[in-house]
Amino acid sequence: MIRAWARAGARDGASRARRGFVLVLPGLWVLGVVTWELCEPTGGRLLQLLAAAPAIACAGTGRRQCVLLGGVCALAALVPFGANDAGPGPGTRVMTCAAVLAVVGASYLTAGRRKRLLRELERTREVATAAQRVLLRPLPPRIGGLVLAADHLSASEGAVVGGDLYEVVGTRYGVRAVIGDVRGHGLEAIGTVGAMLGSFREAAHDEPELAGVLGRLERAHQRHLGERARRADPADGGGAAGPAGEEFVTLLLVQIAPDGAVTALNCGHPWPYRIVWRAVDPVTPLAPGEPMPPLGLFPLPADEAPVCCGRLRPGEGLFLHTDGAVEARDRAGEFFPLTQRLHRSVATAGGAPGPSPAGVVDDVREALLRHAGGRLPDDVAFVLLCADGTDHDPAVPIPAAGVHAPWGAGFTTLNGRSG
């Protein structure tokens, strides 16, 4: 947190310095022109450059007040030369004043138009950000007995959502999480991301088995591709041919039961890391089995059972990520060392007063951006689920995973609270 505040303070200081320099730049221009004319007289020809001061103010700040101030400075700079017999003649002074006034008028109108466009752009950004946040909504800090931290980086400049997706929900079967990566990245993949997340948010509560959730996601993906194909070529009738039919999604479904048992279904996605705070080797890559093919390439196996990934005990966590985190390269072409970075981040964020999942995610994010120089070739998503050791109340029964509670009856989340 202290590092984040320091970085934010440094950015604010640099931004204030840039703004201050832009404000005084027209005055520095006028001062430079006048000094040059006094040191090396040109008969007033150089003074015509004073007309650029309002344009510099308009380009630098876009504020009408600065444009007028730049024009006043330029006109005031002509006064001492007007009283000097060796200075520019009346015709030169009149033409210079006319040029300054013309540039002031044009810059004033341009600044007004720029201000209106900036207001419209800001409103458009607010609407777009709100819409994208509804699609890939921020996770709560806690669900049941799990502390959550997540982050997403889009490869498309100015976009909040790209081709990566994640969601975590608390259900009567435990906490269920999904993380995925749509073929391609950026704005083109947002439609598929919306279809996957919408289906998961419903299926996670309705399906007693994790395989049922995956089946619902596969059917939602096929429907989405069919609708895209029909819109692209109505005469084809929604066939699978074409670019839409070639789109696939890698997915990792994880379920953490009320007793901490972890099961997963993997469709071509990177396996997560297991994190054990304050252990000698705190980060261990999980590879409990061979992943299935991504959704959209082949039909799902009819009898695929979730893979057991052990038990998540207090002080342990799962770090889920997309392949964009390991495919980012630096200028030398080296891939981002995610495993080594996780070791350092966990060691830094695991001290007193306790583990900090948000600190781990923030540290990995900043290290990734530094490694890639701020330019990502693909979208990146991180999700860290950490068991905080909240005790379960034995007076409240926990329904077994896979068993529906009666309608209207309360269900129990991971920390024993009834919902």
C-alpha dist (Å) from residue 362 to 85, 180, 342, 372, 384: 67, 20, 11, 16, 11
d(CA 135, CA 102): 49
**Backbone conformation region of residue 236, classed left if phi is above 0, alpha if psi is from -120 to 50, else beta:** alpha
Tokens in use for 269?
């996605």
- In which residue are the tokens 């080797």 written? 281
d(CA 135, CA 157): 18
Tokens in use for 255?
């379920």
Q: Which strands make up the sheet holding 174-182, listed edge to edge?
A: 164-171, 174-182, 249-256, 261-267, 307-311
SS (H, E, C) 309-333: EEECCCCEEEEEECCHHHHCECCCC
Which residue, among 264, 377, 387, 397, has the nearest Cα to 326 in the 3D structure?
Answer: 377
Q: Decide: helix, strand or coil at residue 307.
A: strand
In a structure prediction context, what are the per-residue pLDDT tens digits for the chain, which is 419 residues long? 444 444 545 555 566 666 666 666 676 777 777 777 677 766 666 666 666 667 767 666 666 666 666 666 666 656 555 555 555 556 666 666 766 677 767 776 777 777 788 788 888 777 777 777 777 888 899 998 899 999 988 877 666 677 889 999 999 999 999 999 988 655 667 888 888 999 999 999 999 999 999 999 999 998 988 887 787 666 655 454 444 556 789 999 999 999 899 999 999 999 999 998 877 888 999 888 888 999 888 888 877 789 999 999 988 999 999 998 888 888 888 999 999 999 988 888 765 455 688 889 999 999 999 998 888 888 899 999 999 765 443 333 333 333 333 322 333 333 333 33
Which residue, among 179, 210, 411, has the nearest Cα to 304 in the 3D structure?
Answer: 210
139-187+250-387 CATH: 3.60.40.10
Domain spans, the chain:
18-122, 139-187+250-387
What DSSP element (H or E) covers 372?
A: helix 357-372
